[in-house]
Amino acid sequence: MDREHELLGLAVSIAREAAALARAMRTAGVDPVATKSTLTDVVTAADRAVERQVREAIRAARPGDSVLGEEFGTEAGGGQEVRWILDPIDGTVNYLYDLPQYAVSLAAEVDGTVVAGVVINAATGKEWTAVLGGGAFADGRRLSGSGQTDLRQALVGTGFGYAADRRLHQAAVLAGLIGEIRDVRRLGAAAIDLCLAAEGSLDAYYEKGLNAWDHAAGGLVAAEAGLLVTGLSGAAPGPDMVVAAPPALHKGLHDRLVELDADKGP
Ligand code: IPD
């Protein structure tokens, strides 16, 4: 087995245990334990417990690797060979409200390139996986994105940040776009949005303000399904913008987002 598939195998087994813990803690009842960047940016005991469990599992299996996680930041390993990028619960607000769109997202990065990733919707058990150059799969089925070629008929996913000034900018961008597409979906978990775009359940997706843990695994799933996953104007996907769309839709969506200054503002 090649290294990418070995890393994926480990990621999947760790993410399944993590999803089981998140689900069990959800069943037991959830309260926000703290807020982070703003009053609406909550963290639950489960976010922290799941992240701790994943970090321990990675340390046990591959003690030299480093980990970047949403709740506890960077933990350097001795070897620095692989960096794991983790969102223990992407879609924390959905988790809080028991809306079934929250995911464990775990990616393995080698020399700055994500080579393997898994996203598991912990509420439903649905799994999406990809290895670099090896395609993207959902529960064993190979993914190839949407066949939609007309942006006017595209169902486009997006999301909003937690800060009010950023949301106002994002709403203004959406106001410029929503009359020119089929409709918009805001499902509340970026990692799942990217995977739904990989499956063709969304025709495309964009969002400003994502962190590496939001898009590392889902971005690889989308790219391996044949989508273009980029920032704007030649930038790599990152905090300013992530756009994921099949080649036939990407240019139209990208160019409209540039016109709307979607990567600018707060
Ligand atoms: C958030 C979700 C949401 C997106 C936000 C993210 P979190 O992640 O992915 O859909 O719109 O930008 O911060 O806080 O639930 O891990």
Secondary structure of 4-29 as H, E, C letters = HHHHHHHHHHHHHHHHHHHHHHHHHC
Q: Is the pTM of this model over 0.85?
A: yes
> Picking from 9-18, 31-40, 174-183, which range would have the lowest pLDDT averaged per residue?
31-40
Q: Whose CA is nearest to atom 16 of ligand 1?
A: 90
pLDDT at 11 over 90: yes
Residues touching ligand 1 (Cβ under 6 Å) are: 70, 87, 90-92, 159-161, 188-190, 207, 209-210, 214
Residue 61: both structure tokens together = 């299996």
Burial (0-12, 13-18, 19+ Cβ within 10 Å), 81: middle
What's the pLDDT at 95?
A: 96
> What separation in Å is there between the alpha carbon of 190 and the centre of ligand 1?
6
> What separation in Å is there between the alpha carbon of 91 and the centre of ligand 1?
5
> What separation in Å is there between the alpha carbon of 39 and the centre of ligand 1?
14
What's the pLDDT tens digit per position in 133-162? 999 999 889 999 999 999 999 999 999 999
Atom of ligand 1 minimally distant from the CA of 211: 13
Distances (CA, A) of 224 to 97, 111, 163, 195: 32, 19, 32, 10
Atom of ligand 1 minimally distant from the CA of 90: 16
What's the pLDDT tens digit per position in 60-118? 999 999 999 999 999 888 776 899 999 999 999 999 999 999 999 999 999 999 999 99
What's the pLDDT at 30?
A: 84
Q: Whose CA is nearest to atom 5 of ligand 1?
A: 161
pLDDT at 214 over 70: yes
